[in-house]
Amino acid sequence: MAKESFNAYQMAQTQFDQVADLLNLDQATRDLLRQPLREYHFSIPVRMDDGNVKVFRGFRVQHNDARGPSKGGIRFHPQETIDTVRALSMWMTWKCSVVDIPLGGAKGGVICDPHNLSSREQEAICRGWVRQVARNVGEVTDVPAPDVMTNAQHMLWMLDEFETIHGGKHPGFITGKPIGMGGSLGRPEATGFGVVFTIREALKAHGVKIEETSASVQGFGNVSQYAIQLYQSLGGKVICVSSWDQKDQVSYAFKRPAGVDLEQLRSIADRFGGIDKVKAQSLGYEVLAGDCWIQQDVDILIPAAMENQITAVTAPRIQPRVKFIAEGANGPTTPEADAVLKQRGIFVIPDFMANAGGVTCSYFEQVQSNMNYYWDKDEVLQKLDSKMTSAFLAILDLSKTKNLYMRDAAYVIAVQRVAQACRDRGWV
C-alpha cells in the first residue's frame, strides 16, 4: 500500500475532472463542484482519565448542499486528514445524488484512536465536536452519521449535546442512533445489504447464478459482515476475509476454501472488526498476509475496509477468474488501478453506488425521526432494496447505451443532477 503518496482528495478531484470533461461542464460549475463549499477545522480539548488535558483536531466539511441538507458520517481515525475528509464529503454528494435522495454531501472526523480511549474520553470528544459546530449543523442544514470507528452510542452523545445547546428535541439532527432512541431498524444491515443488492443485480444482468459464485472480502466490520450475511444467504460462498490486527499493527487474511462461517468469525472478532488470529487458526482458518485477500481465485472481490487498496501495485495480482468488484469501502480503487480494471473488462460497482445503502437508510431514519413514526424492519429493507436496485439499473442502462465504464456512468448521472440543482438555484 503506497500510503505516503496517496491523497484521497486528489483522487476524488481527478475522478471529477474526468466526468466534467465527459459532461463538458462549464468552468464555473467545475470550480464549484471540485472543492467543498465550506470547511470547519477546530480543536477539541478533552480532560483525559489521567487528569491531563489533550487537544484533538476535528473537522466538518460540507461539499455541496444544492439538492438538500448535506449528509455524511464522522470518522474517528488516527490517520485522519483534512484531505481524506474533503474527498469523503465529495463522494457523499455523488452518493446521495446517484440514489436520488434529497441530500447533499458532507463528512466529519476527529484525529484520534478509539482503541486507546476510554468510553468517557470518547464521550467527551463527541460532545466537544458538537460544541464546535452546533451552529453549522442540524436537521435542515447538515446531518451527521457514524463512519469508521464511530457507532450508535457516539451518535446519541452527539444528539444529547446538540439538544442541550439548542433546547428541545431534534432527532433529525443525526442518524445512526440506537433503536428506540430515534434509530431506524435496518440501519446496521443497510450498507452491507445494499452492496449485495447491487451484486445480485449485476450477476443477474450477466446471466450468472449467485449460488455458483464465490467471493473474497477485505475488512470484517459493519459493511463486510452484513454483506457476507446476505451474500451467503443468497447462496454465495465467501472463502477469504481480512481484518486489521491492532496488536500486531498489520492486517491478516483468513482463508477457508469451504466457505467462512460468519457467526464463528463474529464470535472471535473484537468490536472494531479485528479477527483474533490465534483463535482463527485453531478453528482451521489459514492465516495469510493481509493483502492476500486480493489474489484469491474467486468471481467477486469486495473491498470493504479502507480507501487506496486496489492500486497500480495490487491490481495486477487480481486473478483472471475475477469478473466483478463491488466497492463496499469508499475510494478503495485508485484511478491508475481503475484503468487496469477497465482494460481487463472487470465489472466494477463503484463505491458511491455500491455502498449507498447506508446513506439511503440514514435518509429513511431522518424521515422517520422527523415524522416521529417508525417503520418495521421489512418495510425499511424493502424500500432500501427498491431504491438501490433502481439506481443501479439506471447506471447499468446508461453504461450500456453510451458504452461507458460503470464508474463513469454513475458519475455522469450523479454529477449531472448536482450541476443541474446548482444551475436551477442560480449559483452558476
Tell me whether residue 64 or residue 216 sits nearer to ligand NAD (CB atom). Answer: 216
HSE at residue 31, side-chain half, CA atoms within 13 A, is 5
Q: Does residue 204 carry a catalytic annotation?
A: no
The answer to whether 263 touches 301, Cβ cutoff 8 Å, is no
- Could you tell me where the beta strands, DSSP code E, fall in 100-160? 104-111, 142-146
222 binds ligand NAD (CB under 6 A): yes
Minimum gap (Å) between residue 63 Cβ and ligand NAD: 15
122 binds ligand NAD (CB under 6 A): no
Bridge-based pairing of strands 53-64 and 104-111 is antiparallel
Tell me whether residue 306 or residue 395 sits nearer to ligand NAD (CB atom). Answer: 306
- Kindly indicate which of the ranges 44-52, 59-67, 204-212, 303-311 contains the residues binding ligand NAD, using the contact rule CB under 6 A: 303-311
Tell me whether residue 69 or residue 221 sits nearer to ligand NAD (CB atom). Answer: 221
Of 288, 315, 289, nearest to 303 by C-alpha is 315
Which member of 3, 54, 95, 107 is catalytic?
A: 107
191 binds ligand NAD (CB under 6 A): yes
Give the residue nearest to ligand NAD (CB): 221
- Kindly indicate which of the ranges 15-23, 143-151, 208-216, 341-349 contains the residues binding ligand NAD, using the contact rule CB under 6 A: 143-151
SS3 content of the chain, % helix, strand, coil (to 5): 50, 20, 30
Q: At what angle do helices 82-98 and 8-23 cross, to 10 degrees?
A: 40
Residues numbered 254 to 283 that lie near ligand NAD (CB under 6 A) are: 272-274
Q: Rounded to 10 degrees, what is the CA torsion of 250, 263, 240, 187?
A: -80
At 113, phi and psi to the nearest 5? -125, 100
Minimum gap (Å) between residue 283 Cβ and ligand NAD: 17
329 binds ligand NAD (CB under 6 A): yes
Minimum gap (Å) between residue 157 Cβ and ligand NAD: 18
Minimum gap (Å) between residue 10 Cβ and ligand NAD: 17
Residue 272: CB partners within 8 Å, gap ≥ 6?
A: 114, 115, 149, 221, 244, 246
The answer to whether 316 touches 295, Cβ cutoff 8 Å, is no
The answer to whether 368 touches 357, Cβ cutoff 8 Å, is no
Minimum gap (Å) between residue 9 Cβ and ligand NAD: 15
Which residue of 214, 251, 333, 399 would you call a contact of ligand NAD, by CB under 6 A? Answer: 251
Q: Which are the catalytic amino acids?
A: 107
Residues lying near ligand NAD in the complex (CB under 6 A): 147-149, 191, 218-224, 242-244, 251, 272-274, 290, 304-306, 328-330, 355, 358
